[in-house]
Structure 1
Amino acid sequence: MTKRAVVHFCRRELRVGDNSIINHVADHRNEYDLYIPVYVFPSSQVELSGLIKDGTPNPFPPAKSAVAGYWRTGPHRAKFIAESVWAFKEKLESLGSGLVIRVGNIADIARSFAQGLTDDGQKVDVGAIWMTSHEGSEEKKDERAVESLCGDLGAEFKLWVDEKYFLDDRDVKIGDELPNIFTTYRKNQEPLREKPRGVIPAPTKGSLPRFPANSSIPVQPAPFTIPEALEGLVEALVMPVKHFISDIPPFPENAVSAHPFKGGEEAGHARLMAFIESQGMNRYKDTRNGLFGPEFSTKLSAYLAQGCITARQVHHALLAFEDGTNPRFEGIEGYGKGENEGTKAVRFELLWRDYMRLCHQKFGDKFFRLEGLRTDYNEEAGETPKMKHWKVPTGKEARDGQNPPPQKIAEFLERFNAGTTGMGLIDASQRELMHTGYTSNRARQNVASFLAKHLDIDWRYGAEWYEMLLVDYDVSSNWANWQYVSGVGNDPRGDIRIFNPIKQAFDYDKEGKYVRSWLPELSKLEKLENVFQLCSASVEDVKSAGLAENPMFLNPLKRIHFVVGASPRVNKRGGLRRGRRGSPAVGRAGRPGRSSSDGAQAGDRTDCPESQASGGASLVEDVRTSALYTRSQHTDAPIANGSYRAPQEVMARFLSRSARDGNQNGQTNYRGSANRSSRGSGGLGRHNGYQEKLHASVQSSQAQQSSGV
């Protein structure tokens, strides 16, 4: 009698607990003779050349992004995924099962299993191939390819619901379509504490159908070799991508990684428990906008992104703390006293992750287009969006007369990536990211705003840089948030919302510890305003610090005239601006800051004198004291080389239509590797929807763009 097998292609669900497929297989173990979990490192997203040992050319194109040509998966996430996959393999082995690790194309691997799987020398019938549904153009392409293959083979294909999110899709109440306003969505789901489903139990040892002998499993297609140990796998995946820029500076002596965690299911749960036990969950609402160290936020986002843990596992751990049902938490402040502001804020963040994925489902590949989600045009009539004139580094894509010219923008991008823009908060964040694969919620907001709003550079270059380097990269959260901050996502204020990185640095790095730690060359500067914008320092101070020839001083990419020590400007609307949170900026005497146009004494200015420029095309602009400022509220300033930067058009209509054709089969794939013919691109963690009231506006901006939680 022919034996039957079910092949389970695992992707971003690298856990045995709260796993609906594994649980189902254990409960119905008599339906199949063999159960074969398989993980495939996809050639379109992970560079595989390090797994070729004999010098044979890689049969797949380099796994690089479509717009900038960056690696799709950089060294930090490659290592984290390898650790997570290996931990998943070992966990399955402890249950009496196993995991097949392969590289290449999922459909090709599936076909090889269907044609070559044996057991005791007899061919095995692959009766079913199962996968979990994931968002992303390439992910959907893989799902369609495997479904088509199953149709040819006569095998069952089943696409399971992705259950790593906070609320189960089957329980979400959104009516006819997902609201474009997050507040509306949130209110429809509240109370959040009562909504998530229960956690699915992990299988017990021996409860899964038999895993075949290695000799019965089709081998990895040449020319690739799968290492037999985790260390070899990590080395092979990291080696081709570790030199993503030239001359990576050494890790600063006084810097501390905010993400010193390894991948895997057990590691994720250990972090969750430790953060509750340290009272980090209790403090979360107050600390989540921190910058320095590992304890200001949960650091669960990477585990959630790879499915090492699920959002509802986080929720139920919080319930056990709040309800006093887990003795492990006894003695911790708040134990058994119900939901507090910190645990409530964590649930709010988890709902944001859900919403980003649902937006991705709705808008599909519009997430990867330069014009984003804007619908103030008639697509059916062949109209194109009224887009701002984004600056690009290639002559082919640049508009006639682009100023600065493409070659200068290419230099800007090199310095932006390397963390040498001259803007302390931006550079510290970029250095932290390149060294650790992580940077905070607050820093991500400012980095995205600086590239897209201050420099007016095509925002997709930043999104792809983050895709490469973030250890917690999530396709939905990253691209939605870059669109939001860049003014082409579902932010009704669009292009006019701009973060002031100097004000933000004064607010959230009050002693300059974060910037000085990641930019040790600035550690000798005493004045915070000089640390946050080097070109504001005097020539004497710069010479004393050994920075007189530093391009961050001589030719910063942007000069912001910001005044320290003046009274804060009152918002004419009578309330906080969206995005403002925390105390106002403070200067040397603990006084608030404001722009030079507010009439402060000249001695308190942090201006960057034009005489310090080396003839480059750096930008000059006055900014208000609020955390955000708008182009409608300040005079457009000249670029250093004499040209004029006009204000951009504000959106006339925003998201007025449904996401037409967003997920239809056959739509142009805007995300992916550089070899693809289409232009377009492949958390940041969260982006905001509309907010109609002031309190919702402030709340949303606080939540905007985190790495998840």
Structure 2
Amino acid sequence: MPVIVWFRQDLRLADNPALAAAVATGEEIVPLYILDPGTPLGGASRWWLHGSLAALASGLERCGAPLVLRRGQAADLLPGLIGETKARSVFWNRCYEPAAIARDKALKTALVAQGVEAKSFNASLLAEPWDVRTGSGGPYKVFTPFWRSLSARAPFPSPLPAPKKLRGAARIGSDDLAAWSLLPTKPDWAGGLRAAWKPGETEAARRLSHFLDTCAARYAQARDLPGLEATSRLSPHLHFGEISPRQIWAAADARAHAVPRAASGIASFLREVAWREFSHHLIYHWPGMVERAWKPEFDDFPWTDDPASLAAWQKGCTGYPIVDAGMRELWATGYMHNRVRMIAASFLVKDLLIDWRRGAEWFEDTLVDADLANNRAGWQWVAGSGADAAPYFRVFNPVTQGQKFDPAGDYVRRHVPELARLDNRFIHRPWEAPPAMLSEAGIVLGQTYPKPIVDHARARERALAAFADIRKS
């Protein structure tokens, strides 16, 4: 009898445990993807999902098992599909967001009660969150000992090969992907995304190979420089499951052994992969951190309701070039360099005193790699309210951060072209440039480029005072 393989955040054929287990049964396979209209999905993520599903459908079709698309809630749709196909088993790979865990537990209970076999597998983490424990048996709250414990588990199981052929069931009714209207049309704002990205498993593998060939050896030194091509840009492929962390670890580890001069950079890169694992570890053990501060004292922080400043930040019009460059890169490409994410986030929560949740929501709407665990843990890290977070009194200075990590202004000039002709000395502080220099560069502050919406030094003092107040209380 057929096995339904329910794809979710694992949109690939290789190293897909649920698919491999279904193949091992020898039964016919019904690949399924369900679009739940109730699940929040930002505009950039919708664009990526369309491309990723198209790539997955093409790969499955070539193997002989067409992808079935259905729209609705899994609890409502799965029983009908089980009856339609006479399937006796449903296999899926686990998700770790709180809502997904609750959904999957309820589904598994209901399916088993109906006499349907329901099995879940780990496809998206190097180790299950409940398997990585401290010496006392609890979850980790600090990254470094978590990293030591996780890396001690290496080597991890070898990635599973992609099936060459699948025994598909008789063709089953499916929604048309285009009818889901995941792509923007009026207006079509996705031109920058199309220029920057190509969703799908094949592209994920190509991007990993390119990174290991060209950037990995210098990753430790260059990963914080947004003006360079020095990072893997694998995060959206990982988020949608077009590549697994086991595939990344295996390929990176093999390269480190084959090219010893790259070993240091690859070790730094794998440590960043482990930060993703740590974020999922945290959200599994502390699901409330999606909406509430991980450190409870921050729930009483006196955030400011300032729609105008929030809008200026979202549009990349704060008057601080490194912040504006990051926000404009995000809007144009659905991505922002990780160092700049920290700078832009610090500016929102500390210079503007705007709630970190507002920033997290904007990122989730505009990022192609809008991973709930990574995003929420990252914002809480910057805000000082999360696990192993930066101290609240660590307030990034957007000028000195720009000077340190984009010294020639290459990143700023790429994304804030109205500053392109400004001298390097003032590219990160145009308000201090001599009037003649501004004129020569074609810049009129307040017209062609905004003046700073806040004075950083004063904003820093305000933030530190607010932090001191919640500590006293």
Give TM-score scaled by structure 2 length.
0.90
- Within the alignment, does 1:478 sit opposite 2:375 as a pair? yes
Q: Does the alignment pair 1:260 with 2:193?
A: no
- Is the 2:18–2:120 Cα contact (8 Å) retained in structure 1? no
Shift of 1:143: 1.4
1:423 paired to 2:317: no
1:114-513 equivalent positions in 2, closer than 5 A: 114-115=82-83, 117=84, 124-151=85-112, 153-160=114-121, 162-167=122-127, 172-175=132-135, 176-191=137-152, 194-205=154-165, 208-214=166-172, 217=173, 220=175, 226-227=176-177, 232=178, 236-239=181-184, 260-278=196-214, 280-292=215-227, 295-324=229-258, 334=259, 337=260, 340-369=263-292, 372-375=293-296, 387-392=300-305, 409-491=306-388, 494-513=391-410
Specify whether residues 13 and 493 from structure 1 end up closer, same or farther in structure 2 by C-alpha distance, changes over 3 A only: closer
CA distance in 2, matches of 1:461, 1:91: 38
Report what 2:411 is aligned to. 514
The 3 A distance-change label for structure 1 pair 134 and 165 is same
Aligned to 1:591: none
Partner AA of 1:649 in structure 2: A
Aligned CA distance change for structure 1 residues 237 and 528 (closer, same or farther; 3 Å): farther
Give CA-to-partner distance per residue, 1:37-92, whole Å, 9 cap, x none.
111222123xxxxxxxxxxxxxxxxx5xxxxxxxx3123x3222222212111212
Query: Residue in 2 aligned with 1:696?
Result: none
State the partner residue of 1:102.
70
* Preserved contact between residue 381 and residue 389 of structure 2 (Cα < 8 Å): no
Question: Residue 28 of structure 1 aligns with which residue?
Answer: 25
Q: Offset at 1:469?
A: 1.1
Verify the 8 A CA contact 1:539 1:548 in the aligned structure 2. Answer: no
> Is 1:38 the equivalent of 2:32?
yes
8 A contact 1:534–1:552 mirrored in 2: no
CA contact (8 A) 2:224 2:339 kept: yes
Paired positions, count: 471
Which residue of structure 2 lines up, in the alignment, with residue 84 of structure 1? 52
What RMSD in Å do the two structures reach over aligned CA positions? 2.9
Q: What percentage of residue pairs aligned between the two structures are identical? A: 26
Contact 1:167 1:312 in 2 (8 A): no
After superposition, give the CA deviation of every residue in 1:521-569 in whole Å (9 maximum; x if it has no partner): 112322533x3233323444444544436268665212236xxxxxxxx
Q: Which 5+ residue runs of structure 1 have no aligned equivalent?
A: 46-62, 64-71, 118-123, 221-225, 252-256, 325-333, 377-384, 393-408, 562-619, 622-630, 638-643, 654-709
* Change beyond 3 A, Cα 1:93–1:133: same
Please report how far the alpha carbon of residue 314 of structure 1 lies from its aligned counterpart in structure 2 after TM superposition: 1.4
- Structure 2 gap segments, 5+ residues each: none
Question: What are the superposed Cα offsets for residues 372-423 of structure 1, whole Å, 9 maximum, x if unpaired?
Answer: 11145xxxxxxxx66220012xxxxxxxxxxxxxxxx111111111100000
Contact 1:425 1:502 in 2 (8 A): yes
Q: 1:647 to 1:431 in 2, by over 3 A?
A: same
1:288·1:296 contact (CA, 8 Å) conserved in 2?
yes
- The structure that has the greater radius of gyration is 1
Change (3 A) 1:469 1:491: same
Alignment CA distance shift 1:461-1:550 (3 Å)? same
Deviations 1:25-48 (A, max 9, x none): 22221xx4x321111222123xxx
Between Structure 1 and Structure 2, the one with more helix by share is 2
Would the aligned equivalents of 1:199 and 1:313 in 2 still touch at CA under 8 Å? Answer: yes
The residue identity in structure 1 corresponding to 2:147 is: R
1:591-639 CA-partner distances (Å, limit 9, x unpaired): xxxxxxxxxxxxxxxxxxxxxxxxxxxxx45xxxxxxxxx6xxxx36xx
Aligned-pair CA distance for 1:292? 2.5
Does structure 2 conserve the Cα–Cα contact (< 8 Å) formed by 1:281 and 1:343? yes
Given the superposition, is the C-alpha separation of residues 281 and 553 from structure 1 closer, same or farther in structure 2, using an over 3 Å criterion?
closer
Q: CA–CA distance in 1 between the matches of 2:300 and 2:129? A: 34
Structure 1 segment 648-663 matched on structure 2, within 5 A? 648-649=467-468
